[in-house]
Amino acid sequence: MNILALTVVIAIFLLVITTLMWLGYRKTKTDSDYLVAGRSVHPWVMALSYGAAFISTSAIVGFGGVAGLYGFSLLWLTVLNIVVGVFIAFAFLGVRIRRMSSNLGSETFPSLLGSRYQSPALTAYLGLLIFLLMPAYTSAILIAGARFLQEALALPFNLSLLLLAALVGIYVMSGGLRGVMYTDAFFAIVMFLGMGMLLVNTYLTAGGVVFAHSELTALSRLVPANLVEQGHRGWTAMPATGSKLWWTIVSTMVMGVGIGVLAQPQLAMRFMTVRQPRAIYQSILIGGIFIFFMTGTAFIVGPLSNLYFYQTQGQIALQAAGGNLDRIIPVFVSQTMPPWFLYFFMLTLLSAGLSTLSSLLHVQGVAFARDLVQTLGGDRLLPGASTRFWAKMGTALSLLAAIVLAYTLPANIVARATAFWFGVCAASFLPTLLAALYWPAATKAGALASTVTGSVVSVLGYLFLHEAQAVALGLSARLFGRATLLPFPWTHVDPLFYALPASAAVFVIVSLLTAKPSPMHLEKAFRKIA
Amino acid sequence: MLGMQDFWVSAAWILSVASTLGCIIFGVLHWHYEEE
């Protein structure tokens, strides 16, 4: 890359971000502006911000590389991302979240659930989970972004990490959610253009849709023997049912990430920012297209890169990328796209990382301020300090935790930390969220029992049973002398698979056995909903 | 189907396109949605 041209491109990019951040800063005058962007965001901005916060660099490069190795079966995750992550999330949860948060005056995900169940303890527990466990996911996104800057700009890793952290920290703390969403919308446009061009060029280069698939199908004999043993049957086939690979793809990647998105606090908060429910319906149009061009492109280009590398170099993608999955997409892009596109693609990946990072830091800061400090009465320590002050302090602490974790977490942790967070979120929050919106008879005790059950079972599952996280963290080996406590298939079944049903069952049983909420409270919570 | 080796992978490809179209159609149909 031409360093001068690259510097100019990045300078323009930073100028746009700074301008949008300044706009967000100027319009942030109240706590409501900082927390939920004044509930007056344009539907397209909301949809683009939701998509940009959802899709990180690791979703494009990391999962795209995984698709390069495992094949088109990852496209089921795209289907779930669109059907569950956009359509169901927006139409069936988003509209109700918007109305109920307005009915109850809630401005955060934990406070919405706490108010609905009339339980400050639930608000504090959810806030604590977000504040304590989300830094692992934040750190993974930070590491991925810093690694990318390290390679693209030839900067030392430490400097890349600190630059990225400082940039995001400044614009989250100054612009609040309004600043975050404005910049997210810009990032989303860059990402959409970059991934759209990549998809079209890949199919054109490969000779068209059906021809490209047919040619790739003919290469199934090239799948490495160790992957065939794990159940790999070719890049255009699903893995053998019940094999290790099948469990990894279906339970962790497709179901884990596909369902986990429904209970992501930073995404649920986006629904509270629009003026009226109609905006959420309108944003489904943008959200569906955006997600298709993000994960769809990554999961199509990844497998097809095998065809290109075989035809030009006689190698499969993994070999051409030097055995590093994270390099498959960048190497493919650098060899097939015109030189100017490399700059654009770099901005695409940078946008994906920055948008997710800023959303996570904002939601952690808000959880610290509203759900922990104010719910537990800690704000009495500094009388007169605004919610914004505590939120900025929370963001700063979260950023610090993510930086420390970036130096202490084991290598190759990005995908594992992502799966961990999505699984914990689904098991801990999803039954409580769904019941809050759809089951008036759900009780406070049921919500508390379910949230505690889901979080404890899923965290224990990742620490002691699921091989991908248990081996990397090493706690099971240190405590029990074994990498995992149970044999296959438990080593490859994502904890979400048993933690979520356990959490849901506990919710229903406890709710049926305990006192129902007062009709007056339910009438207020469900006004214009049911 | 579509040059894929496995029906379920073809189904994923078709469904990812179809679900995107579904989101577009839903968005257009509800563009002027009014609350009761």
Cβ–Cβ gap A237/B16 under 8 Å: no
Cβ–Cβ gap A296/B16 under 8 Å: yes
pLDDT of residue A277: 84
Longest pairwise C-alpha distance within chain A? 70
Q: Of B2, B5, B13, which has the smallest distance from its Cβ to A237's Cβ?
A: B5
**B1-36 pLDDT tens trace:** 899 999 999 999 999 999 999 999 999 999 888 765
Summary mean pLDDT of chain A: 93
Residue pair A36/A28 in contact by the 8 Å Cβ criterion: no
Is A58 part of any domain? yes
Question: Number of C-alpha atoms within 13 angstroms, CB side, residue A195?
Answer: 33
Q: Which amino acid is at A434?
A: L
> CA-based angle A146:A188:A97, to the nearest 5?
105
Residue pair A307/A205 in contact by the 8 Å Cβ criterion: no
Is A78 part of any domain? yes
Cα B36 from Cα A391, distance rounded (Å)? 36
Helix (H) or strand (E) holding A401: helix A387-408
Q: What is the CA radius of gyration of chain B?
A: 15
* Residue range A196-202: mean pLDDT, rounded: 97
> CA-based angle A139:A491:A54, to the nearest 5?
35
The answer for residues whose C-beta is within 8 angstroms of residue A448's C-beta and 6 or more apart is A117, A119, A121, A122, A125
Q: Chain B partners of A67 at a C-beta cutoff of 8 Å? A: none
pLDDT of residue A455: 97
pLDDT of residue A504: 98
Q: Chain A partners of B2 at a C-beta cutoff of 8 Å? A: 209-210, 213
Cβ–Cβ gap B26/A82 under 8 Å: no
* Residue range A264-287: mean pLDDT, rounded: 92
- pLDDT over threshold 60, residue A515: yes
Is A429 part of any domain? yes
pLDDT of residue A411: 67
Q: Of A210, A238, A284, which has the smallest distance from its Cβ to B23's Cβ?
A: A284
Q: Which amino acid is at A225?
A: A
Q: Least CA distance to A283: which residue of chain B? A: B27
**A288-337 pLDDT tens trace:** 999 999 999 999 999 999 999 999 999 999 999 999 888 899 889 989 99
Give strand pairing partners of A41.
A274
Q: Least CA distance to B16: which residue of chain A? A: A79
Cα A329 from Cα A67, distance rounded (Å)? 10
Count of structural domains within chain A: 1
Q: Least CA distance to B14: which residue of chain A? A: A79
Range in A455-464, A466-475, A477-486 with the lowest mean pLDDT: A466-475
Cβ–Cβ gap A82/B27 under 8 Å: no
Q: Least CA distance to B10: which residue of chain A? A: A236
Give the CATH number, domain containing residue A123. Answer: 1.20.1730.10
Cβ–Cβ gap A73/B34 under 8 Å: no
Residue pair A359/A184 in contact by the 8 Å Cβ criterion: yes
**A337-388 pLDDT tens trace:** 998 898 899 899 999 999 999 999 999 999 999 999 999 998 888 888 999 9
For residue A42, the 8-state DSSP code is: -
Backbone angles phi, psi at A274, to 5 degrees: -90, 160
Q: Least CA distance to A282: which residue of chain B? A: B27
pLDDT of residue A530: 67
pLDDT of residue B35: 64
* Total beta-carbon pairs less than 8 A apart between chain A and chain B: 109
Is A241 part of any domain? yes
Cβ–Cβ gap B26/A217 under 8 Å: no
Is A530 part of any domain? no
Q: At what angle do helices A444-464 and A120-153 cross, to 10 degrees?
A: 40
In terms of residue numbers, what domain contains A240?
A: 3-525
The answer for residues whose C-beta is within 8 angstroms of residue A314's C-beta and 6 or more apart is none
What would the two tokens of residue A192 be? Answer: 């959409």
Cα A443 from Cα A508, distance rounded (Å)? 9
Tracing tokens 């690791």 back to the chain, one arrives at A58
**A54-107 pLDDT tens trace:** 998 888 988 899 999 999 999 999 999 999 999 999 999 999 999 999 999 999
Phi/psi region, residue A515 (left: phi>0; alpha: psi -120 to 50; beta: rest), is beta
Cα A142 from Cα A138, distance rounded (Å)? 6
Q: Chain B partners of A73 at a C-beta cutoff of 8 Å? A: 8-9, 12
Q: Which of A44, A82, A299 to mutate to test the interface with B (most CBs of B within 10 A)?
A: A82
Residue pair A45/A281 in contact by the 8 Å Cβ criterion: no
Cα A151 from Cα A366, distance rounded (Å)? 33
Give strand pairing partners of A274.
A41
**A55-67 pLDDT tens trace:** 988 889 888 999 9
Cβ–Cβ gap B2/A209 under 8 Å: yes
Is A465 part of any domain? yes
The answer for residues whose C-beta is within 8 angstroms of residue A412's C-beta and 6 or more apart is A472
* H-state helical runs in A37-94: 43-54, 57, 63-70, 75-82
Q: Of B5, B23, B35, which has the smallest distance from its Cβ to A288's Cβ?
A: B23
* Residue range A128-157: mean pLDDT, rounded: 86
Is A284 part of any domain? yes
* DSSP-based helix, strand, coil % in chain A, nearest 5: 80, 0, 20
Tracing tokens 């015109």 back to the chain, one arrives at A338
Residue pair A149/A155 in contact by the 8 Å Cβ criterion: yes
Question: Number of C-alpha atoms within 13 angstroms, CB side, residue A50?
Answer: 37
Q: Which of B2, B4, B28, B29 to mutate to test the interface with A (most CBs of A within 10 A)?
A: B4
Q: Chain B partners of A213 at a C-beta cutoff of 8 Å? A: 2-4
| Prediction ipTM score | 0.96
Taking residue A67's Cβ as centre, other Cβ atoms within 10 Å add up to 31
Residue pair A133/A394 in contact by the 8 Å Cβ criterion: no
Is A250 part of any domain? yes
